[in-house]
Protein backbone atom coordinates (compact mmCIF):
# COMPACT_ATOMS: atom_id res chain seq x y z
CA UNK A 1 0.00 0.00 0.00
CA UNK A 2 1.21 3.48 -0.86
CA UNK A 3 0.78 6.10 1.88
CA UNK A 4 2.03 9.50 2.91
CA UNK A 5 4.00 9.57 6.16
CA UNK A 6 5.43 12.54 8.07
CA UNK A 7 9.23 12.45 8.08
CA UNK A 8 9.34 12.33 11.86
CA UNK A 9 7.30 9.10 11.76
CA UNK A 10 9.79 7.29 9.52
CA UNK A 11 11.82 4.41 10.91
CA UNK A 12 14.55 2.11 9.62
CA UNK A 13 12.94 -0.67 7.58
CA UNK A 14 10.44 1.49 5.70
CA UNK A 15 10.61 1.75 1.91
CA UNK A 16 10.42 5.22 0.39
CA UNK A 17 8.31 5.10 -2.75
CA UNK A 18 8.71 8.81 -3.48
CA UNK A 19 10.22 11.86 -1.86
CA UNK A 20 7.21 14.08 -1.48
CA UNK A 21 9.09 17.30 -2.19
CA UNK A 22 10.04 17.76 -5.82
CA UNK A 23 11.34 21.24 -5.17
CA UNK A 24 13.95 20.23 -2.63
CA UNK A 25 17.34 19.17 -3.98
CA UNK A 26 17.44 15.98 -1.93
CA UNK A 27 20.66 14.08 -1.16
CA UNK A 28 19.53 10.65 -2.47
CA UNK A 29 20.60 9.13 -5.78
CA UNK A 30 17.14 7.64 -6.37
CA UNK A 31 13.69 8.80 -5.38
CA UNK A 32 12.84 5.22 -4.35
CA UNK A 33 14.95 3.48 -1.69
CA UNK A 34 14.83 1.47 1.54
CA UNK A 35 15.66 3.24 4.78
CA UNK A 36 18.50 1.10 6.07
CA UNK A 37 20.04 3.23 8.79
CA UNK A 38 19.64 6.20 11.10
CA UNK A 39 21.91 8.07 8.66
CA UNK A 40 19.16 7.87 6.00
CA UNK A 41 16.66 9.26 8.52
CA UNK A 42 19.04 12.10 9.38
CA UNK A 43 19.57 12.88 5.67
CA UNK A 44 15.81 13.14 5.13
CA UNK A 45 15.52 15.42 8.14
CA UNK A 46 18.45 17.62 7.11
CA UNK A 47 17.10 17.96 3.58
CA UNK A 48 14.03 19.61 5.10
CA UNK A 49 11.71 16.93 3.70
CA UNK A 50 8.48 17.11 5.71
CA UNK A 51 6.83 13.95 4.43
CA UNK A 52 7.47 11.07 2.02
CA UNK A 53 5.39 8.42 0.28
CA UNK A 54 6.12 4.90 1.56
CA UNK A 55 5.32 1.51 0.05
CA UNK A 56 4.21 -0.85 2.83
CA UNK A 57 4.50 -3.89 0.54
CA UNK A 58 8.24 -3.35 0.27
CA UNK A 59 8.92 -2.18 3.84
CA UNK A 60 7.49 -1.56 7.29
CA UNK A 61 4.14 0.13 7.74
CA UNK A 62 3.36 3.04 10.04
CA UNK A 63 1.42 0.74 12.44
CA UNK A 64 4.51 -1.41 12.92
CA UNK A 65 6.45 1.79 13.45
CA UNK A 66 4.11 2.85 16.26
CA UNK A 67 4.46 -0.58 17.88
CA UNK A 68 8.23 -0.36 17.68
CA UNK A 69 8.36 3.18 19.01
CA UNK A 70 6.24 2.03 21.97
CA UNK A 71 8.84 -0.58 22.96
CA UNK A 72 10.29 -0.10 26.49
CA UNK A 73 13.68 0.80 25.04
CA UNK A 74 12.22 3.55 22.86
CA UNK A 75 10.21 4.88 25.78
CA UNK A 76 13.36 5.05 27.88
CA UNK A 77 15.20 6.84 25.12
CA UNK A 78 12.23 9.15 24.70
CA UNK A 79 12.24 10.07 28.40
CA UNK A 80 15.97 10.70 28.22
CA UNK A 81 15.44 12.94 25.24
CA UNK A 82 12.64 14.82 26.99
CA UNK A 83 14.87 15.60 29.95
CA UNK A 84 17.40 17.27 27.67
CA UNK A 85 17.05 20.92 26.88
CA UNK A 86 16.81 20.15 23.17
CA UNK A 87 13.11 19.33 23.70
CA UNK A 88 12.62 23.07 23.91
CA UNK A 89 13.53 23.53 20.24
CA UNK A 90 10.76 24.68 17.92
CA UNK A 91 10.41 21.23 16.37
CA UNK A 92 10.40 19.56 19.80
CA UNK A 93 7.62 21.82 21.02
CA UNK A 94 5.65 21.39 17.81
CA UNK A 95 5.90 17.62 17.93
CA UNK A 96 4.63 17.57 21.52
CA UNK A 97 1.74 19.86 20.61
CA UNK A 98 0.99 17.77 17.51
CA UNK A 99 0.81 14.57 19.59
CA UNK A 100 -1.54 16.25 22.06
CA UNK A 101 -3.68 17.62 19.21
CA UNK A 102 -4.03 14.14 17.68
CA UNK A 103 -4.84 12.44 20.98
CA UNK A 104 -7.31 15.13 22.06
CA UNK A 105 -9.03 14.94 18.66
CA UNK A 106 -9.50 11.22 19.17
CA UNK A 107 -10.98 11.77 22.68
CA UNK A 108 -13.50 14.24 21.22
CA UNK A 109 -14.34 11.92 18.32
CA UNK A 110 -15.12 9.10 20.79
CA UNK A 111 -17.04 11.38 23.10
CA UNK A 112 -19.22 12.68 20.26
CA UNK A 113 -19.89 9.13 19.10
CA UNK A 114 -20.92 8.21 22.67
CA UNK A 115 -23.21 11.26 22.79
CA UNK A 116 -24.76 10.24 19.46
CA UNK A 117 -25.51 6.75 20.73
CA UNK A 118 -27.02 8.14 23.95
CA UNK A 119 -24.28 6.83 26.24
CA UNK A 120 -23.69 8.56 29.57
CA UNK A 121 -20.83 11.06 29.37
CA UNK A 122 -18.35 11.90 32.10
CA UNK A 123 -16.59 15.26 32.42
CA UNK A 124 -13.75 13.31 34.09
CA UNK A 125 -12.69 11.86 30.72
CA UNK A 126 -12.03 15.40 29.50
CA UNK A 127 -10.11 16.70 32.50
CA UNK A 128 -6.73 15.01 31.84
CA UNK A 129 -6.75 16.31 28.25
CA UNK A 130 -7.82 19.79 29.41
CA UNK A 131 -4.95 19.77 31.91
CA UNK A 132 -2.47 18.85 29.18
CA UNK A 133 -3.80 21.65 26.96
CA UNK A 134 -3.26 24.15 29.79
CA UNK A 135 0.25 22.80 30.50
CA UNK A 136 1.18 22.97 26.81
CA UNK A 137 -0.01 26.57 26.54
CA UNK A 138 1.86 27.47 29.77
CA UNK A 139 5.09 26.01 28.31
CA UNK A 140 4.66 27.62 24.92
CA UNK A 141 1.89 30.15 24.60
CA UNK A 142 1.46 29.57 20.86
CA UNK A 143 2.33 25.89 20.37
CA UNK A 144 -1.25 24.83 19.68
CA UNK A 145 -2.00 27.87 17.53
CA UNK A 146 0.34 26.72 14.77
CA UNK A 147 -0.64 23.08 15.10
CA UNK A 148 -4.28 23.97 14.68
CA UNK A 149 -3.51 24.83 11.04
CA UNK A 150 -3.17 21.13 10.20
CA UNK A 151 -6.92 20.49 10.31
CA UNK A 152 -8.34 18.16 7.70
CA UNK A 153 -11.75 18.67 6.08
CA UNK A 154 -13.02 15.27 7.31
CA UNK A 155 -12.03 15.72 10.92
CA UNK A 156 -12.82 19.43 11.07
CA UNK A 157 -15.56 19.22 13.71
CA UNK A 158 -13.32 17.41 16.23
CA UNK A 159 -10.13 19.33 15.42
CA UNK A 160 -11.93 22.67 15.61
CA UNK A 161 -13.00 21.79 19.18
CA UNK A 162 -9.37 21.25 20.23
CA UNK A 163 -8.21 24.43 18.50
CA UNK A 164 -10.91 26.44 20.25
CA UNK A 165 -9.84 24.93 23.58
CA UNK A 166 -6.16 25.82 22.95
CA UNK A 167 -6.88 29.35 21.73
CA UNK A 168 -9.28 29.99 24.60
CA UNK A 169 -6.67 28.93 27.15
CA UNK A 170 -4.02 31.18 25.51
CA UNK A 171 -6.45 34.09 25.53
CA UNK A 172 -7.60 33.51 29.13
CA UNK A 173 -4.04 33.04 30.40
CA UNK A 174 -3.05 36.36 28.83
CA UNK A 175 -6.02 37.98 30.59
CA UNK A 176 -4.90 36.64 33.97
CA UNK A 177 -7.32 33.74 34.46
CA UNK A 178 -6.01 31.11 36.89
CA UNK A 179 -4.82 27.69 35.70
CA UNK A 180 -7.92 26.14 37.26
CA UNK A 181 -10.23 28.51 35.37
CA UNK A 182 -8.27 27.87 32.17
CA UNK A 183 -8.85 24.15 32.63
CA UNK A 184 -12.62 24.70 32.84
CA UNK A 185 -12.43 26.79 29.67
CA UNK A 186 -10.48 24.04 27.95
CA UNK A 187 -13.24 21.55 28.85
CA UNK A 188 -15.85 23.98 27.48
CA UNK A 189 -13.86 24.52 24.28
CA UNK A 190 -13.43 20.79 23.74
CA UNK A 191 -17.17 20.15 23.82
CA UNK A 192 -18.51 23.53 22.67
CA UNK A 193 -19.95 21.95 19.51
CA UNK A 194 -20.99 18.61 21.01
CA UNK A 195 -24.56 19.23 19.79
CA UNK A 196 -23.29 18.90 16.20
CA UNK A 197 -23.13 15.16 16.79
CA UNK A 198 -26.87 14.99 16.03
CA UNK A 199 -26.85 17.36 13.05
CA UNK A 200 -27.14 15.44 9.75
CA UNK A 201 -23.85 15.04 7.88
CA UNK A 202 -25.44 16.47 4.74
CA UNK A 203 -25.77 19.81 6.56
CA UNK A 204 -22.66 19.60 8.75
CA UNK A 205 -20.34 18.90 5.81
CA UNK A 206 -22.26 20.58 2.99
CA UNK A 207 -19.72 21.84 0.46
CA UNK A 208 -21.68 25.07 -0.08
CA UNK A 209 -23.46 27.82 1.82
CA UNK A 210 -26.37 26.54 3.94
CA UNK A 211 -29.92 27.42 2.90
CA UNK A 212 -32.11 29.27 5.45
CA UNK A 213 -33.82 26.00 6.43
CA UNK A 214 -30.52 24.17 6.77
CA UNK A 215 -29.13 26.99 8.90
CA UNK A 216 -32.17 26.68 11.19
CA UNK A 217 -31.30 23.00 11.69
CA UNK A 218 -27.62 23.86 12.27
CA UNK A 219 -28.58 26.38 14.97
CA UNK A 220 -30.13 23.52 16.93
CA UNK A 221 -26.63 22.27 17.79
CA UNK A 222 -26.68 24.60 20.80
CA UNK A 223 -29.98 23.29 22.24
CA UNK A 224 -28.94 19.69 21.46
CA UNK A 225 -25.64 20.43 23.21
CA UNK A 226 -27.50 21.79 26.25
CA UNK A 227 -29.61 18.63 26.44
CA UNK A 228 -26.44 16.51 26.31
CA UNK A 229 -24.81 18.67 28.99
CA UNK A 230 -27.66 18.07 31.38
CA UNK A 231 -26.53 14.46 31.43
CA UNK A 232 -22.97 15.47 32.41
CA UNK A 233 -22.90 16.18 36.15
CA UNK A 234 -20.42 18.59 37.75
CA UNK A 235 -19.79 20.69 34.66
CA UNK A 236 -18.52 24.12 35.77
CA UNK A 237 -20.40 27.32 34.75
CA UNK A 238 -17.30 28.52 32.83
CA UNK A 239 -17.45 25.38 30.66
CA UNK A 240 -21.23 25.71 30.21
CA UNK A 241 -20.96 29.38 29.12
CA UNK A 242 -18.50 28.47 26.36
CA UNK A 243 -20.92 25.87 25.03
CA UNK A 244 -24.14 27.85 25.27
CA UNK A 245 -22.91 31.37 24.40
CA UNK A 246 -20.34 31.01 21.62
CA UNK A 247 -22.89 31.99 18.95
CA UNK A 248 -24.36 34.98 20.83
CA UNK A 249 -23.45 38.36 19.34
CA UNK A 250 -23.06 41.80 20.99
CA UNK A 251 -25.93 43.37 18.98
CA UNK A 252 -28.34 40.55 19.83
CA UNK A 253 -28.17 39.01 16.34
CA UNK A 254 -26.75 35.72 17.62
CA UNK A 255 -28.38 32.53 18.86
CA UNK A 256 -29.92 30.67 20.65
CA UNK A 257 -31.15 33.44 23.01
CA UNK A 258 -30.29 36.64 21.10
CA UNK A 259 -28.48 37.94 24.20
CA UNK A 260 -26.97 41.44 23.99
CA UNK A 261 -23.74 43.03 25.33
CA UNK A 262 -23.18 42.35 29.02
CA UNK A 263 -25.96 39.75 29.04
CA UNK A 264 -23.28 37.55 27.46
CA UNK A 265 -20.66 36.62 30.06
CA UNK A 266 -17.02 37.58 29.39
CA UNK A 267 -16.20 33.94 28.77
CA UNK A 268 -19.08 33.71 26.27
CA UNK A 269 -17.79 36.80 24.44
CA UNK A 270 -14.25 35.39 24.39
CA UNK A 271 -15.53 32.03 23.09
CA UNK A 272 -17.40 33.80 20.26
CA UNK A 273 -14.18 35.52 19.11
CA UNK A 274 -12.05 32.39 19.32
CA UNK A 275 -14.67 30.21 17.61
CA UNK A 276 -15.03 32.47 14.56
CA UNK A 277 -11.27 33.10 14.31
CA UNK A 278 -10.58 29.37 14.17
CA UNK A 279 -13.40 28.77 11.67
CA UNK A 280 -12.08 31.53 9.37
CA UNK A 281 -8.48 30.27 9.48
CA UNK A 282 -9.49 26.64 8.80
CA UNK A 283 -9.95 24.90 5.48
CA UNK A 284 -13.58 23.76 5.13
CA UNK A 285 -15.41 21.68 2.57
CA UNK A 286 -16.78 24.93 1.09
CA UNK A 287 -13.84 27.35 1.50
CA UNK A 288 -10.08 27.71 1.75
CA UNK A 289 -8.41 28.74 5.02
CA UNK A 290 -7.99 32.46 5.55
CA UNK A 291 -4.67 33.89 6.60
CA UNK A 292 -4.50 34.67 10.37
CA UNK A 293 -3.88 38.40 9.76
CA UNK A 294 -6.84 38.54 7.35
CA UNK A 295 -9.10 36.86 9.96
CA UNK A 296 -7.98 39.25 12.71
CA UNK A 297 -8.69 42.24 10.43
CA UNK A 298 -12.19 40.87 9.77
CA UNK A 299 -12.84 40.42 13.50
CA UNK A 300 -11.88 44.07 14.07
CA UNK A 301 -14.22 45.10 11.24
CA UNK A 302 -17.09 43.11 12.80
CA UNK A 303 -16.56 44.85 16.15
CA UNK A 304 -18.25 46.28 18.13
CA UNK A 305 -21.45 45.18 16.33
CA UNK A 306 -20.94 41.44 16.63
CA UNK A 307 -17.91 41.06 18.88
CA UNK A 308 -16.66 42.83 22.01
CA UNK A 309 -14.19 45.35 20.58
CA UNK A 310 -12.01 45.52 23.71
CA UNK A 311 -11.74 41.73 23.83
CA UNK A 312 -10.95 41.54 20.10
CA UNK A 313 -8.10 44.03 20.70
CA UNK A 314 -6.81 41.84 23.53
CA UNK A 315 -7.10 38.73 21.34
CA UNK A 316 -5.06 40.41 18.58
CA UNK A 317 -2.38 41.26 21.17
CA UNK A 318 -2.54 37.67 22.45
CA UNK A 319 -1.88 36.17 19.00
CA UNK A 320 0.59 38.84 17.95
CA UNK A 321 0.71 40.96 14.82
CA UNK A 322 2.06 37.97 12.92
CA UNK A 323 0.39 34.92 14.50
CA UNK A 324 2.20 31.56 14.61
CA UNK A 325 1.47 29.79 11.32
CA UNK A 326 1.26 32.98 9.22
CA UNK A 327 3.51 33.67 6.25
CA UNK A 328 5.73 36.76 6.12
CA UNK A 329 8.01 38.43 3.59
CA UNK A 330 11.38 39.56 4.94
CA UNK A 331 13.53 42.52 3.86
CA UNK A 332 15.83 40.22 1.87
CA UNK A 333 12.87 38.99 -0.20
CA UNK A 334 12.82 35.66 1.61
CA UNK A 335 9.48 34.17 2.61
CA UNK A 336 9.10 32.51 5.99
CA UNK A 337 6.52 30.94 8.27
CA UNK A 338 6.13 32.33 11.78
CA UNK A 339 6.97 29.38 14.05
CA UNK A 340 7.22 30.99 17.48
CA UNK A 341 6.27 34.41 18.86
CA UNK A 342 9.01 36.59 20.29
CA UNK A 343 8.84 39.08 23.18
CA UNK A 344 8.89 41.77 20.51
CA UNK A 345 5.70 41.23 18.46
CA UNK A 346 7.52 42.34 15.31
CA UNK A 347 10.38 39.86 15.78
CA UNK A 348 9.13 36.26 15.94
CA UNK A 349 11.11 33.12 15.06
CA UNK A 350 10.62 32.35 11.39
CA UNK A 351 11.26 29.30 9.17
CA UNK A 352 12.59 30.45 5.80
CA UNK A 353 11.11 28.39 2.94
CA UNK A 354 11.16 30.50 -0.24
CA UNK A 355 13.11 33.25 -1.94
CA UNK A 356 10.75 35.64 -3.71
CA UNK A 357 13.60 37.67 -5.21
CA UNK A 358 15.02 34.67 -7.07
CA UNK A 359 11.73 32.75 -7.27
CA UNK A 360 12.94 29.48 -5.82
CA UNK A 361 12.30 27.38 -2.74
CA UNK A 362 14.97 27.34 -0.06
CA UNK A 363 16.13 24.59 2.25
CA UNK A 364 13.95 25.24 5.33
CA UNK A 365 15.91 26.87 8.16
CA UNK A 366 14.93 28.77 11.28
CA UNK A 367 15.97 32.30 12.16
CA UNK A 368 15.20 34.29 15.27
CA UNK A 369 14.45 37.83 14.11
CA UNK A 370 15.18 39.12 17.61
CA UNK A 371 18.78 37.94 17.22
CA UNK A 372 19.59 39.27 13.77
CA UNK A 373 20.25 42.79 12.56
CA UNK A 374 20.10 41.90 8.86
CA UNK A 375 16.52 40.64 8.55
CA UNK A 376 13.15 42.07 9.47
CA UNK A 377 9.53 41.51 8.48
CA UNK A 378 8.41 43.70 5.62
CA UNK A 379 4.82 42.47 5.23
CA UNK A 380 2.44 39.56 5.60
CA UNK A 381 2.48 37.14 2.61
CA UNK A 382 -0.09 34.84 1.02
CA UNK A 383 0.82 31.11 0.84
CA UNK A 384 -1.16 30.50 -2.40
CA UNK A 385 1.10 32.97 -4.25
CA UNK A 386 4.06 30.66 -3.57
CA UNK A 387 2.12 27.38 -3.77
CA UNK A 388 2.94 26.69 -0.14
CA UNK A 389 0.90 24.55 2.20
CA UNK A 390 1.80 26.01 5.59
CA UNK A 391 0.36 22.99 7.43
CA UNK A 392 3.18 20.85 5.93
CA UNK A 393 5.58 22.65 8.23
CA UNK A 394 3.76 21.82 11.48
Contact positions toward Fe ion, by CB under 5 A? 193
Minimum CB distance to Fe ion smaller for 211 or for 223: 223
Rounded distance between C-alpha atoms, residue 19 and residue 7, angstroms = 10
Smallest distance from Fe ion to CB 285, Å: 16
Minimum CB distance to Fe ion smaller for 193 or for 241: 193
Smallest distance from Fe ion to CB 305, Å: 19
Smallest distance from Fe ion to CB 247, Å: 6
Minimum CB distance to Fe ion smaller for 275 or for 375: 275
Minimum CB distance to Fe ion smaller for 193 or for 291: 193
Q: Are 370 and 347 in contact (CB under 8 A)?
A: yes
Minimum CB distance to Fe ion smaller for 193 or for 278: 193
Smallest distance from Fe ion to CB 274, Å: 11
Smallest distance from Fe ion to CB 150, Å: 21
Residue nearest to Fe ion (CB): 193
Smallest distance from Fe ion to CB 249, Å: 13
Smallest distance from Fe ion to CB 246, Å: 6
Minimum CB distance to Fe ion smaller for 146 or for 254: 254
Minimum CB distance to Fe ion smaller for 93 or for 193: 193
Minimum CB distance to Fe ion smaller for 195 or for 320: 195
Smallest distance from Fe ion to CB 248, Å: 11
Instruction: Convert the chain into a string of H (helix), E (strand) and C (coil).
Output: CEEEEEHHHCCCCCEEEEECCCCCCCCCCCCCEECCCHHHHHHHHHCCCCEEEEECCCCCCHHHHHHHHCCHHHHHHHHHHHHCHHHHCHHHHHHHHHHHHHHHHHHHHHHHHHHHCCCCCCHHHCHHHHHHHHHHHHHCCCHHHHHHHHCCCCCHHHHHHHHHHHHHHHHHHHCCCCHHHHHHHHHHHHCCCHHHHHCCHHHHCCCCCCCHHHHHHHHHHHHHHHHHHCCCCCCCHHHHHHHHHCCCCCECCCCCCCCEHHHCCHHHHHHHHHHHHHHHCCCECCECCCCHHHHHHHHHHCCCCCCCHHHHHHHHHHHCCCCCCCEEEECCCEEEEEEECCCCCCCCEEEEEEECCCCEEEEEEEEEHHHCCCCCEEEEECHHHHCCCHHHHC
Rounded distance between C-alpha atoms, residue 181 and residue 172, angstroms = 8
Amino acid sequence: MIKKVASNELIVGMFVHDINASWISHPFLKRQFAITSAIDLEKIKRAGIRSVIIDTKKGLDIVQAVEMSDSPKSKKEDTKKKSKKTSRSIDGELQGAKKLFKEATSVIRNLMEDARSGKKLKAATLEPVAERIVQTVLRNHHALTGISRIKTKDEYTFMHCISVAGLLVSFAKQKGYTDEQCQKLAVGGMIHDIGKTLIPDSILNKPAKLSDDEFKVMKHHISIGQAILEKIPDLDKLSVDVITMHHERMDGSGYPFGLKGAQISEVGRMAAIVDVYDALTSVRCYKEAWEPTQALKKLLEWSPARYDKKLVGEFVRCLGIYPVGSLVQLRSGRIGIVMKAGKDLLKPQVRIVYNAKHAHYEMPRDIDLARTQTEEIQSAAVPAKYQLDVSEFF
